[in-house]
Structure 1
Amino acid sequence: MAAISRACRIRNPAVFICDLQEKFEKAIFEFPKIVSTTTKLLRATNTLLIPTFVTTQNRARLGPTVPALQQHLNGPNVRADIDKTLFSMITPELESLLPLPTKGETPLDAIIVGIETHICVTQTTLDLLERGHRVYVLVDGVSSINVEERAIALARLRDAGAIVTTSESILFEILGDASHQHFKAITGLVKETKEETKEALDKLSKI
């Protein structure tokens, strides 16, 4: 399949939240900052009614999605909350919920946050790209146990066709226009979380 152009504006956003579970809290580099970025993204997602897909990896062993995020996962836009053993989020169950660009359906602009960058995030990204979707990996929303793995994985994903960007950039691209009906709500959220965003970028944007 020919790769779709990366030189496109977001038109059909969907959010993928990969394996942000309790057992990883003490192991993952800057895990609290990943959670704060994801919380901001989810609050915006719920306001904008953007389809959201959530996974956990072997929930019985590694625990559920962290409580800080669970309160934001009850909206009608949350299309799936799936436990898996695959490393990729693109399980048969989740894939059945996605459009099929190969059949002329509009590809997703898939926005990914979660862990680990070099394993589950990488494999999810590659699977989405292979199926004809665009993928945006948020640098302030992904991490690994070993910090060095992040930069290597992000470089690989950029080479593969993913766009590496930031949570704030994504939110304003989705809005597109200051006349958007939710502009005040989203800009208010950005202002409210500006210190958390700055701290996350200080630690996670050096790749």
Structure 2
Amino acid sequence: MVLRGRINNPVLFVCDLQEKFRTAIYGFDKCVLTAQKLLKVGQILQIPTYATTQLASKLGPLVPELHPLLVNAKVLDKSLFSMMTPELRARLDEDGDDGEKKSVALVGIESHICVLQTCLDLLAAGHEVYVVADGVSSCNRQEVPVALERMRREGAVVTTSESWMYEVMGDAKISEFRQMVGLVRESKESTTLALQSLL
């Protein structure tokens, strides 16, 4: 069981950030920036990470910006809208001790379809969900606040990337703190852009 800060058994989910959607999704590049930051967090803190593509044979691969950061991640293709495919459910159960419930941070697209259905499935399975609001979007900007409110009502925590990062750390005494603060500084401008665009 992984215990870090205020969040037990953290896991990162990156949903369908594929090149094909770059021009269709509102604020897509800002979602990618936030995903990059959280993938770096995952590397620093050794957080299990899963990424999905939606029908990659038709809709293509994940954006190239993410590839270098997915070396230790499990990347799965799906046709379901939810990331919680049977394969991912099984892999999620394998990560950790004795089927401990996870605290999943969720970024990607679209907020009202794949992100929402992933969130609902995670909650139904007993996991905690942290929807990172500066890392999710949809084709239509107006869908996003409705989806975030629905997920909040269903029991998810709607938060920001930086808030989640510090909650995962929980204590400035952890050995990775300097690396994490360096990442916060390095990503300050992109965090501001994502917050302004997506919230």
- Which amino acid letter does the alignment assign opposite residue 192 of structure 2? K
- Unaligned 5+ runs, structure 2: none
Equivalents in 2 of 1:9, 1:120: separation in Å? 27
Is the contact made by 2:6 and 2:170 (CA closer than 8 Å) also made in structure 1? no
Query: Which consecutive aligned stretches of 4+ in structure 1 deviate over 4 angstroms post-superposition?
Result: none
The residue number in structure 1 matching 2:46 is: 49
Equivalents in 1 of 2:92, 2:76: separation in Å? 14
Q: 1:168 aligns with which of 162, 170, 177?
A: 162
Identical aligned pairs, as a percentage? 52
- Which amino acid letter does the alignment assign opposite residue 137 of structure 1? V
Question: CA deviation digits over 1:56-104, x for unaligned, max 9?
Answer: 00001111010000110002xx2x211110000000111111239xxx7
Is the contact made by 2:6 and 2:169 (CA closer than 8 Å) also made in structure 1? no
Equivalents in 2 of 1:95, 1:127: separation in Å? 10
Q: 1:99 aligns with which of 75, 93, 103?
A: 93
The residue number in structure 2 matching 1:65 is: 62
Equivalents in 1 of 2:191, 2:170: separation in Å? 20
The residue number in structure 2 matching 1:122 is: 116
How high is the TM-score relative to the length of structure 2? 0.94
1:12 is the counterpart of 2:6:
no
Question: CA deviation digits over 1:94-136, x for unaligned, max 9?
Answer: 1111239xxx732100000000000000000000000000000
Q: Could you say what secondary structure the match of 2:93 adopts? A: coil
Aligned residues: 193
- Which amino acid letter does the alignment assign opposite residue 161 of structure 1? G
- Unaligned 5+ runs, structure 1: 1-7
Query: What displacement does 1:47 show?
Result: 1.1
1:31 is the counterpart of 2:44:
no
How high is the TM-score relative to the length of structure 1? 0.90
Query: What displacement does 1:142 show?
Result: 0.2
Equivalents in 2 of 1:24, 1:117: separation in Å? 13
